[in-house]
Amino acid sequence: MTGQQPQNPYGQTGQPSPSHQPNPYPPNQANQSSQPSQYGGSPYQGNPPQQSHPYPQYTNSTNPRQNPYPQQQYPYAQQSNPYAQSGARPNNSPASHVPANPRPAPSQYYYAQPVRKKRGLSGGGIAAIVISVVLIPILLFIAVTAGFAAMANKAFNDAAQQAQSQAEQQQQTEPKVTYITMKDRPSYQETYQYVNGKYEQYSQEALTDLQGFMDKYRIPITDDGGKYVTDFIAVLGKYSNNLKLIGDTIGVDADEMDDIIASYKTDTDTVEAHFKKGEPLEVQITLKGTNGDTYTVDGQNSVELKPLWADLEPKIASAANNMGSNYAESAQKIVELAGLQVNWDFNAGKQYCTKSSSNNPDMQALEDKETFAYYCPVTPNVIYANANASGWDTDYAPAAAIRHELAHHAIHMYCGTIQPPVVVQNGVNRFEGVTSSYAIKYLGADAKWLKQSAQYAAQNHHEQYLMDDFTDKAAEAIHRGECEAIQ
């Protein structure tokens, strides 16, 4: 215990119930002086060697801590589920969901400031609004584009007919000159497929899973971010349509045509390169729909991309365990440093992720009451915390447990799943142990704590948290981006 007022890590909500894959528990459960409890979330700590009462008693009712971040809790709460609109999202799979986006969360920019509890929008509500705001320009764009595409098709057909009759006339009157149609040039089809392919790829990605799209390209979820994405897709659509339209252009100089065709690929690559850096697109276009609606891109907008996970890791590893006024708050600050958020509503993630299970009686999933915190890949920017778990009042929380959860996120970022093939040893899924090894090696987790909690968990039929050479090597492989089986 520290002399300060403990923050309430355990929000008002956290009730134990099914847990997921998070860490095994910290050593002791609240109230008990020595019996740790295990939590799916982070490995529990066994009995802290150095501290006599690692887990003083914090029961919910007497919970001295104030929830540091009440309302920002669920960046991804129910309705705000970023992935809601994508039918493709795995809804319930244990730890192994494979969300596409490897990027940190939008939440860091959005729920940054801890706020005292108050009524009003929940984090979920905020997220829902944010997503809506981003969606509006995109939907508007689609509406405009639909009209634009229809118009483009008509223009295309008109041009085709006109070109044909011109060609016929010209052939009759000027037989000695060879007329060339743009789309007959060898590079035309290939280039069109390339340019249109980019448009299709990005627009489909954004429409299928906007949240995932923003995460993947590290675009902040803000009005500017939404406009930036929309502008980019609009430009690609314009290029694709324009290239289609000029297909029937007739000329006599093949080189000139080839140059024009090539310029579309160059322009596409250029704007894509700007987009990937968040730079101004430097393209001015206006799309006009059949109903007169327009969408204009001035090319001046830019965004500050969110940091790469790999760049964040060293910062997390060196982050102090006393950044807050108590351990729970310190743990939360580390999570926020990583661009994620803590949701103190322990059950909130259950609508998205199913607790990991195992047929091995010695590797049973943690009971909810044993779960300190857990990570759900469907909501990759959130760590769900069990406020009722013991251990929040010791440095097990910031030094070990929360870093174990962040390691789940790291592995997810590198491999697209928290249980890649590389964690399997002779048919045994050792992802929890690999996660702890990763936390120790790359995220500054306290090895003593994690080993202790793993041993404690093992004594309670949760051997999956144990670490050894295999888990260390698997963690190293993952850090190198190697997720395939290593044996």
Residues in the site for Zn ion, rule: CB under 5 A? 21-23, 432, 435
Shortest Å, Cβ 457 to Zn ion: 10
Based on CB atoms, which residue is closest to Zn ion, 124 or 377? 377
Cβ proximity to Zn ion: between 336 and 432 the closer is 432
Q: Which helix (H) or strand (E) holds 343?
A: strand 341-343
* Closest distance of CB 23 from Zn ion, Å: 5
Q: Which is nearer to Zn ion, 21 or 222 (CB)?
A: 21
Tokens in use for 44?
């529990």
Q: Which is nearer to Zn ion, 379 or 435 (CB)?
A: 435
Q: Where are the alpha helices (DSSP H) in 174-222?
A: 186-208, 210-216
Minimum distance between the CB of residue 404 and Zn ion, rounded to whole angstroms? 6
Instruction: Point out which residues pair with 23 in neighbouring strands.
Output: 373
Cα 415 to Cα 86: distance, rounded to the nearest angstrom: 21
| Between 21 and 101, CB nearer to Zn ion | 21
Nearer to Zn ion by Cβ, of 215 and 432: the residue is: 432
Min CB(41)–Zn ion separation in Å? 6
* Other Cβ atoms closer than 10 A to 98: 16
Nearest to 302 by CA among 271, 262, 263, 344: 271
> In angstroms, rounded to a whole number, what is the distance separating the alpha carbons of residues 46 and 62?
24
The least CB distance from residue 95 to Zn ion, in Å, is 8
C-beta closer to Zn ion: residue 236 or 376:
376
Residue 442 one-letter amino acid? Y
Instruction: Enumerate long-range contacts of 186-193, CB under 8 Å, 24 or more apart.
Output: 187/258, 187/261, 187/262, 188/247, 188/261, 191/243, 191/261, 191/262, 191/264, 191/265, 192/240, 192/243, 192/244, 192/247
Min dist CB 345 to Zn ion, Å, is 19
Query: Which tokens hold the place of 333?
Result: 């600050």
Instruction: Indicate the residue among 306 and 408 with the shorter CB distance to Zn ion.
Output: 408
Tokens found for residue 451:
């080993």
- Which run of H or E residues covers position 479? helix 469-479
Distance CA 24, CA 435 (A): 11
Q: To which H or E segment does residue 473 belong?
A: helix 469-479
Q: Which is nearer to Zn ion, 247 or 398 (CB)?
A: 398
Whose Cβ is closer to Zn ion: residue 23's or residue 47's? 23
Q: CB of residue 42 vs Zn ion: minimum separation in angstroms?
A: 6
C-beta of 349: minimal distance to Zn ion in Å?
A: 13
Backbone φ and ψ of 377, nearest 5°: -60, -20
Residues 6+ apart with CB under 8 A from 383: 22, 41, 335, 340, 341, 342, 343, 373, 374, 375, 402, 405, 406, 409
Q: Is 64 exposed, middle or buried (0-12, 13-18, 19+ CB in 10 A)?
A: middle
CB of 20 to Zn ion, least distance (A): 8
**In the complex with Zn ion, which residue's Cβ is closer, 265 or 404?**
404
Rounded to a whole number of angstroms, the minimum distance from the CB of residue 374 to Zn ion is 7
- Least CB distance to Zn ion at residue 116 (A): 31
Identify which of residues 21 and 341 has a Cβ nearer to Zn ion in the complex.
21
**Spatial distance between the Cα atoms of 142 and 172, rounded to a whole number of angstroms:** 44
Q: What is the dihedral of CA 303, 307, 308, 310, to 10 degrees?
A: 170
Q: How far apart are CA 228 and CA 303, in angstroms?
A: 7
How does 298-328 read in b/e, with b if 16+ C-beta sit within 10 Å? ebebebebbeebeebbeebbebebeebebbb
Q: Min. distance of Cβ 446 from Zn ion in angstroms?
A: 15
Q: Which of 27, 42, 122 is nearest to 385 (CA)?
A: 42
